[in-house]
Amino acid sequence: MGKRDDQAVQRFIERFAAAFVEAGMARMPARVFAGLLATDSGTLTAAELADLLQVSPAAISGAVRYLTQVSMVSREREAGSRRDVYRVYDDVWYEVVFRREQALARWEAPLREGMNALGADSAAGRRISETLEFFEFLHREMPAMLDRWRVYRAERFGS
């Protein structure tokens, strides 16, 4: 395999990060996530991320804190070292969707409470009711969809 075009990799990182920013993610976490995706190992130290993205280590710290909170990356101790490495797993999209599905379940009770408080016959109550129904629908459908993804992934990419 030939040498990678570093400029093309940087363009990918910035363009993919921009897509996340447009979807509502802060810029630095988006860049860190895209940078990790663009590494063969899926792991980098804070210093390596700072070098790759040409930013300060402090900027990396805040970004990885957010990404670990939303389960998009994990923080691990480098074997035989005191340095942390940040990892994006090969099944990151499964994990992100799974965590989102868990959030949907947590939103159902407050929505039900809101629907009752507003009255099911009011315009706001109907809007909350439809939101609740949508989340309940996603909550019911998500496990089967994730199961189908695991089967498809195994067939397409192995294990």
Can you give the pLDDT of all 159 residues of the chain as single tens digits?
568 898 999 999 999 999 999 989 999 999 999 999 999 999 999 999 999 999 998 899 999 999 998 888 999 987 777 888 999 987 777 777 777 777 777 888 899 899 889 988 999 999 999 999 998 898 888 889 888 988 998 999 886
Of 122, 97, 143, 142, which is closest to residue 130 (Cα–Cα)?
122
Q: Which residue has the tokens 């996530």?
A: 33
Contact 114, 142 (CB under 8 A): no
Q: Is the pTM of this model over 0.85?
A: no
CB atoms within 10 A of CB 15: 10
Give dist(CA 22, CA 67) in Å, integer.
17
Compute the chain's Rg from CA coordinates: 20
DSSP output for 52-88: HHT--HHHHHHHHHHHHHTTSSEEEEPTTSS-EEEE-
Task: For residue 43, give the H/E element and its range.
Answer: strand 43-45
Contact 63, 32 (CB under 8 A): yes
Contact 150, 130 (CB under 8 A): no
Start-to-end C-alpha separation, the chain: 24
What pLDDT, on the 0 to 100 scale, is given for residue 2?
61
What pLDDT, on the 0 to 100 scale, is given for residue 103?
75
